[in-house]
Chain A
Amino acid sequence: MIGEAFYRMSGNYQNKIVNLDAVLPLADLTTGWQYAYGPAGFAQHSSWYHRTRSTSSRRSSRWIQTQGHYSFLNVLKLFGPGNRAPLSFPMAGWNVAMDFPNKPGVNEFLNELDDRAMEFGGRVYAAQGLPGERREVPQDVLPRIDEWIAVRRKADPNGVFASDRSDSNCFSSNLQKGLNPTT
């Protein structure tokens, strides 16, 4: 509905002066948007496809449309080069970000979406996940996890710093490698 409304409102225009507010992501129009995500809200999914493989993102989009899980707020981005951070998700290519209502079957749907993204040579943004049970994200989703583990081992050998993400299925088994077993 949001997408439809904006589609109808936007239209075509040229050389229009717009301020920063007009080009921000919709979520930034309000505070507290992050609380819309969770068991009673939305599950966010973000995947990446190589720049030369826009066909993959198209095939993925067509498959999503047929699955009965509808994302009302979708953003397509063409990423530039990534940075040096080991767990950084963005890199040059296509990014599709979607917000799906948490309803029965969405876990299975997103797991399959993960698989399809990987099958198409893409990547999944592992920092976004679901509150329910979810299989562990494959190692190649985090291809530089070992570099991060080395940083963590050096900066925080006792595992003092943690987050909901580091405790999640996506990261826990990998990050446990960075903890000092003697403490």
Chain B
Amino acid sequence: MKAALPFGLVGAVPVLPAPGRSPSAAPSAPDIQAKKPPQRGQLRQSRLSLDLLMADGERRTITPSGGRTTKTGRCSGPPSAEKRLDRHRIRADRHDRAPRRPNFIADGVATSGLDETVAVHLDGAKTGTLLRRLVDLISAPPKLGRATVSRGSLAKLDQLPSKLAKNPLQFTAPQLPRCRWSSPIAW
């Protein structure tokens, strides 16, 4: 297989013919999409192209246009092998820029109910960037809709303490717990 596919195996996900769907890109799509900013080398805007390697060895290169990032979704195996791919692999040519981790100056607000949460969002949309919010939709009123909202803006160099200011975009995020992929999800 390797000889037939002259682009190497590093980063590629082999997909064998299957009667049903082959969630070939399930393990790879998040990496290709750069959906995991906390991880080293996986910040957005870092993908320059994707190579889709066809069963016959043809290589199709997909590149972003208009300043957009390259993305892909899950690819399926063939319900009809005559019409669709019966074997393919996806490889992302990664030219990663140095990972960066910006800092924010943020305000946190814990709201007491849905109306206050809506008001904070409307206010936040005017005054700054909403960074994160979680809403309680389980508790009965009046707690229903209470939320924790974080809002703010990118920190400027002179707003950072000296320790952070030396290297304000240093990426030091730890590798966090990993969920093991065990079986395809039959959506």
Residues of A within 8 A of B (CB): 2-4, 6-7, 10-26, 28-39, 54, 57-58, 61-62, 64-65, 70-78, 94, 96, 98, 129, 131, 158-168, 183
Contact = CB atoms under 8 A, between A and B. Distances in A.
A170 B117 CA distance: 32
Contacts of A167: 21, 76, 79
Contact of A65 (B73, B84, B137, B176): B137
Interface in B96-133: 101-110, 114-115, 117-118, 121-122, 124-125, 130-133
B83 A10 contact: no
A183 B134 contact: no
B103 A28 contact: no
Majority DSSP secondary structure for residues of B touching A: loop
B94 interface: no
A72 B138 contact: yes
A65 B140 contact: yes
A116 to B, nearest CB: 14
Given A38-B186, A163-B73, A163-B74, A74 B135 contact: yes
A14 B139 CA distance: 27
A3 B104 CA distance: 23
Given A31-B176, A31-B179, A73-B134, 13 more contacts: A3-B138, A10-B150, A12-B108, A17-B106, A29-B38, A29-B177, A32-B180, A35-B182, A54-B122, A58-B115, A98-B137, A162-B84, A183-B83
A35 B37 contact: no
A13 B36 contact: no
A9 B37 CA distance: 23
Contacts of B141: 62, 65
A175 to B, nearest CB: 12
Given A28-B36, A38-B185, A162 B107 contact: no
A32 B148 CA distance: 25
Interface string B37-81: 111000000000000000000000000000000000111100100
B132 A25 contact: yes
B140 to A, nearest CB: 6
